Structure 1
Amino acid sequence: MKYRNLLIAVFILAGFTGCVEKLDRKPKDFLEPADYYRTAEQLNIALNGVYDNLGTLYSNPIHFRFGFEGDEHWYVKNSPLSGLHIYDYTAAHPDFQSFWSNLYIGIGRANYLLANVDNNPSIDAAIRSKVKGEALFLRAYYYFMLVQSFGGVPLVLEPPKSLNDVDVPKATAKAVYERIIADMTQAEALVAPIQQLGFGGRVNKSAVRGILARVCLHMAGYPVRETAKYLEARNWAKKVIDDAEAGHALNPSYPGVFINLISDKYDIKESLWEVEYWGNKSDAYTETGSLGDVNGPATQNTQTGFAYAGIKATADNYYRYQEGDARRDWCIATFNYGTASQPANHKVFLTSVNRNTAYNRWPGKYRREYEIVLPKNNTGTPTNCPLLRFSDVLLMFAEAENEISGPTPDAIEAVNKVRRRGWSSGIKSVTITNGGEGYTTAPTVTFTGGGGSGITATATVAGGKVTGIVFANDAMYGKANGTGYTSAPAISFIGGNGSGAAATATIYTAADAEMPAAATAGKDQFRKFIQDERSRELNGETFRKADLIRWGIFVERMHTLSATIEKDLGTLTTPAYLNLFIKGFGPNITERNTLWPIPTKELTLNRALTQNPGW
């Protein structure tokens, strides 16, 4: 039987050999670029492919393992006990390779699209222009992510002409920044206004202008130090601020910004650009992210939304906020979620905080309880990732303005707008003016007038007198001391078998939020204040480490953090991972950590590449 089959195979092969010249050698399962990009639909499919890499890049490790948090968070898991999160790695670490590859895949897709976008001149020119603008911007943004992380990198701006066309040397960081700015500037004239699109998940004029401000600030800072770019940064930010048609404005509620993101509501006044996610991995959509899973309050409750929870806040992060800054208790959770057997969204509130216990609080900005896609998936979330918010634009404008002209009234007001929006409008303090007499139980406390609401408080009684008022815990604002008060409410005490108790209240005001005079006394003081303010406003949004590097204070700041943690907590043997964190943020960090090493695999593939200093 075997010999029979062999003979048949020989005859068949001989037949193929005899007819080889008649075969069509052009593959049928591959489209040449000249045969594609022929319709508006094909252009948009190709553009979606360029966008797709954003979803991959922002889906997981960038929010907790890449060290983007700088001095804001620490890694809480038992493993891995080496890696980027404690600055213990080599150039062979797979996270570097994955990051580099994903960015260059996106760049390659953009290059093919840009080279072929005009293949069919009969496609409406306006459609082709928008596609070109978005692809240019995305390619430039991918290069921005590369230059921030690796410094100078190969500038590949066309599709490869040969399989052997792989040895491309690094361009200088300055040259990469110049190309980014050139491409984004060209894109700004081509893309649609955000108000025309109606959502922030697509590249738009406001996004391009705001990111250009960010790029210019980074180019002005370390290591390129092209300080003339501060002027361009200010001008691009001001274009966003002054755009009357877009009408950008801060959402009146700081928590509301993130509740909108989590519950899939667009707010194009504040959220200028987002990475789009949707689905629960059991429906037709598979583009899920990780916001609230890897960087939210931990929970095993699948109804609340399972959270792996890989990071916690540092004490420096917590104490960077002043009392009255309502952003703190949204960014750093005041509670732990209940167990899997308890009701959904059940909370156990943390009743006190000090330099020791502050390290045990979860990031609270992204809370899975607000998700609307059901059932909730254990490893993916549908929450869009914000890449640019209007508050960031205001802070970038203020920073650039200060570097050019010092703390001008416009710079100060830009910062104060951000701070006023995030400030409490509730009760600041209560003074018992008369404890009364005869109270055997706590009387009911009532607040009337003042224009606000949302207070939940109880009285404390000792020796027959009212001795104080305790506000209830609140998951959003820390304490249920009310919101929206424009004047102090009246306080009355009813019941409790006593009488005569009286108290007065003071409220937080907009003036409490404004920058202190010491912070506006000069350029250096303003710079230092805004370095902290960016952390307070943009807490955990992946910008902190890059900001510390461009300000030239990264190594010093991380060494100080390590010493502070050791002072706060002591040298720990358990848990081992926290001790490794302390040690990693100390001796391991040197100037070489301001750049990542070029991945080992890329040095092997591209013989024109050279390794970054210190690696």
Structure 2
Amino acid sequence: MKKIFNILCLVIISSILFSCKKFLDTKPQDFLSSSNYFQTEEHLMRSLTGVYDILGSNPIYGANYHSKLGMEAEEGYYFRANLVVGPQVYNITANNTEVLSFWTNLYKGIGRANFLLANVDNNKGISEAFRLQIKGEALFLRGYYYFLLVQNFGGVPLMIKATENANDVHIAKSTAREVYDQVIKDMEVAETLVAPIQQLGYGGRVSKSAVRGILARVCLYMAGEPLKDVSKYEKASFWAKKVMDDVEAAHALNTDFNDIFIKYASDQYDIKESIWEVEFWGNATNVYREGGFLGSWHGINCVNTTIGYSQGIMKGTRRLFEKYKSGDLRRDWSLAPFLYRADGTKSLFTVTPTNLQKYDRFSGKYRREYETLLPKDNNNTPINHPLLRYADVLLMFAEAESQAKGVPTPEAIEAVNKVRRRGYGKYLNGIGAVSESISSIIVSSQGTGYTAATTVNIAGGNGTATATAVVSGGKITAVNITNAGNKFSSPPIITFSGAGTGAVATATLTDITTADLAPADYVSQQKFMESIQDERARELCFEALRKQDLIRWGIFITTMKSVLADMLVDSPTGFMSLAFKNVAEKNLLFPIPANEIGINKALVQNPDWL
């Protein structure tokens, strides 16, 4: 996909313009001096590209964070029965190489940012506006990398200056509070320096909207476990509202939930909805590439290379399936209701699955059939990773505003309802219903002479939908909706094809109140909070957010064990329950990598990993 900067720039300073002290255990033999670099706009841009590049590395959003390290908690499970060791099943030690790589790459990004920040003003002849924008983006990315570290490791060594002595490697942890405070400091400065998103025109580069939205997220994490700084709810609400009230950016929900992810796959941008995303590009056919593994790892299992090969390593749980209610169109996109056959055609699942069958659906947001870059590589895909969507901003605002005020305010309730209306196919630029789905098809006359081959025809009303007939004794006793559609302006006409005559059925459409929260969903602050928690699962599943959400809410372990209880009833010997069996309190954080403790004698291990 379109890269932020020239792809050629990605590696030129990967090993020469960074590094945090702990990664330099030998003296460099070759070095590009800052005195003869950072002299042009191109130099600064190349250095900034190196800072961005960490986002797309395999240990971060390129592969592991959306597939193993940031596993989707109770929403999904790792679909590989033979892999019984690793972070994806909560069975690791401090020697785990994936955790080490995650830590190392984040600090590599921090080191690159520090080096750039130390040298951004070397040539005052470069436009000050240009230098300030570069500084803002580097500050934000440094803050974001520390945000990922503190979420996953707790307190970590805090280094905010470029390395001057490669032998100085012994740096103690700062507290989690100190790390969070530095994240806030970096991001608040960045917010004043970076460009508006409408000026950039795409979501792969840090904008004011991205900084504000991520600041809302950071504040929500500080308000929750383990810091419990509830004063940050007000700040989270403030930053989310800044995104919502930005008239020039004019953020709004895409009217079609599916289209968000089709755009991620097909090299399109929608800066109204997708505020910040990790850019991927290329198909491994030449050196100009930086592919990720969304779709090929985390996607719908497929061996057909025209559709796009996918290992399909993540499946959803019954718990997630059942969070979606009738008429919610997001379910069948997020949890694919089909399998790809070898010839590329789709084999549909039953519309009324058993409890065990509800675990069969692959994570479906990242679909390779929509990629436009050909030929398709078996591993590298150009599908961008969502980091911040407008729907998330609305839900963060609802949570923060209600927690800050102590009650579910009308503004908070409306923010949730906007997300829900889009999920039910009823959203148009934030102001009302655009279309309806079929809520039911009622058979008023069963007719005679029908067979199992009977076809249900749905015509008219400016929409499309599908359904199947239930035939018993030659009569049509019911009609099951397989795709409720989302573009009907009036009820369609239902007819039947094949043998048989006399059956009559009538379709009923949903209405706007179908999507909105019921009064019982916000009758109390606790009920509203539970509604938001469920809505975040329905809207944001498989976007590498759920585990940390559950942790900050203080319900990670209890939720995982609750799902385990379901699994042991549904499939007592199933491998899908392995992660849920293994997870324990110590998994609220990763262990500090043993390799780092060996190098940095001032580091101490997280208590539960001693």
Does residue 124 (structure 1) correspond to residue 137 (structure 2)? The answer is: no
Q: Give 1 or 2 for the bigger CA radius of gyration.
A: 1
Q: What are the within-5 Å matches in structure 2 for residues 14-53 of structure 1? A: 30-53=31-54
State the match for 1:376 in structure 2: 376
Secondary structure at the counterpart of residue 258 of structure 2: helix
Residue of structure 1 in register with 2:357 after alignment: 357
SS of corresponding position for 2:276: strand
Q: Distance in 2 between matches of 1:234 and 1:441?
A: 55
CA distance in 2, matches of 1:594, 1:292: 28
**Does residue 1:292 correspond to 2:295, yes or no?**
yes
C-alpha distance 445-601 of structure 1, shift in aligned 2 (>3 A): closer
Identical-residue share of aligned pairs (%): 51
Q: Which amino acid aligns with 2:369?
A: E
State the alpha-carbon separation in 1 of the partners of residues 384 and 159 from structure 2.
30
Q: Give the superposition deviation at 1:309.
A: 1.6
The answer to whether the Cα contact below 8 Å between 2:70 and 2:545 also exists between their aligned partners in 1 is: no
Matches within 5 A, 1:445-594: 447=458, 449=460, 451-457=461-467, 459=469, 465-471=475-481, 479-492=482-495, 496=499, 498-499=501-502, 501-572=503-574, 578=575, 581-586=576-581, 588-594=582-588
> Which digits, 9 at most, give the CA deviation of each residue in 1:450-502, with x for residues without a partner?
x431134465555565433355xxxxxxx233322244334456785634x43
Give the C-alpha shift of residue 47 in structure 1.
0.3
SS in 1 for 2:387: strand
Which one of the candidate residues 597, 603, 612 is aligned to 2:597?
603
- Secondary structure at the counterpart of residue 73 of structure 2: coil
Post-superposition offset of 1:560: 1.5
SS of the residue aligned with 1:82? coil
Matching of residues 23-102 of structure 1 within 5 Å: 30-56=31-57, 57-102=60-105
Deviates more, 1:309-318 or 1:409-418: 309-318
Secondary structure of 1:304's aligned partner: coil
Tell me the amino acid that sits aligned with residue 526 of structure 1.
F
* 1:377 maps to amino acid: D
The amino acid of 2:303's aligned partner reads Q
Measure the CA separation in 1 of the matches of 2:552 and 2:478.
48
The CA distance in 2 between the partners of 1:456 and 1:584, in whole Å, is 37
Distance across 1 between alignment mates of 2:496 and 2:256: 31
Residue 357 of structure 1 deviates from its aligned partner by 1.2
Structure 2: where are the runs of 5+ without partners? Answer: 1-27, 426-435
What is the CA distance between 1:163 and its match in structure 2? 1.9
Partner residue, 2:18: none
Cα pair distance change 1:584/1:407, threshold 3 Å? same
Q: 1:527 to 1:462 in 2, by over 3 A?
A: closer
Secondary structure of 1:614's aligned partner: helix
Give the aligned partner of residue 18 of structure 1. none
Kindly tell me: are residues 35 and 327 of structure 1, through their superposed partners in 2, closer, same or farther at Cα, counting changes over 3 Å? same
Q: Aligned residue for 1:191? A: 194
Cα distance, 1:485–1:135 mapped onto 2, change above 3 Å: same
For residues 441 and 360 of structure 2, the distance between their equivalents in structure 1, rounded to whole angstroms, comes to: 29
Q: Deviations over 1:572-605 (max 9, x none)?
A: 4xxxxx0xx535423x333221111100011111
Output one character per residue of 1:35-90: Cα deviation in whole Å (capped at 9) or x when no partner.
21111100000000000101102111112222531111111214432111111111
Corresponding position of 1:346: 345
Secondary structure, counterpart of 1:511 in structure 2: helix
Shift of 1:148: 0.3
Q: Deviations 1:208-238 (Å, cap 9, x if unpaired)?
A: 0000000000011100111100000000000
Question: Aligned residue for 1:430?
Answer: 441
Instruction: Please show how residues 111-260 of structure 1 align to structure 2 within 5 Å.
Output: 111-260=114-263
| Contact 2:464–2:485, Cα closer than 8 Å, also in 1 | yes
How far apart are 1:164 and its partner, in Å?
Answer: 2.1
Q: Which amino acid aligns with 2:583?
A: I
Cα 1:498–1:559 change in 2 (3 A) is closer
Superimposed CA distance per residue, residues 307-329 of structure 1 (whole angstroms, 9 cap, x where no aligned partner): 11212111111111112111011
Q: 1:538 deviation in Å?
A: 0.3
Deviation, structure 1 residue 28: 11
Asked if 2 retains the 8 angstrom alpha-carbon contact of 1:326 and 1:422, the reply is: yes
| Residue type at the aligned position of 1:544 | R
Residue 610 of structure 1: how far off its partner (Å): 1.0
| Contact 1:327 1:536 survives alignment (8 Å) | yes
Distance 1:152 1:180 in 2: 12
2-side partners of 1:550 and 1:458: how far apart? 43
Please state how far the C-alpha of 1:283 moved relative to its aligned partner. Answer: 2.6
Decide whether the 8 Å contact of 1:439 with 1:466 is kept in 2.
Answer: yes
Query: TM-score under structure 2 normalisation?
Result: 0.89
* 8 Å Cα contact 2:251/2:271 also seen in 1: yes
Structure 2 Cα separation of the partners of residues 423 and 608 of structure 1: 53
2:464 partner letter: G
**Cα distance between partner residues in 2 of 1:241 and 1:377:** 39
Aligned position for 1:20: none
Change (3 A) 1:226 1:462: closer
| Matched residue type, 2:580 | F
* Superposed displacement of residue 32, structure 1: 1.1
Q: Secondary structure at the match of 1:482?
A: coil
Deviation at 1:448, TM superposition (A): 5.2
Q: Deviations over 1:535-572 (max 9, x none)?
A: 11001000000000000111111121222211111134
- The alpha-carbon deviation at position 161 of structure 1 amounts to 2.0
Instruction: Find the counterpart in structure 1 of residue 283 from structure 2.
Output: 280
- 8 Å Cα contact 1:442/1:460 also seen in 2: no
- 8 Å Cα contact 1:426-1:452 kept in structure 2: no
What's the CA shift string for 1:115-160, capped at 9, x where partnerless? Answer: 1100000100010010000000000000000000000111100012
1:507 is displaced (CA, Å) by 1.1
Superposed displacement of residue 528, structure 1: 1.1
Q: Across the two proteins, how many residue pairs are aligned to each other?
A: 568
SS in 2 for 1:143: helix
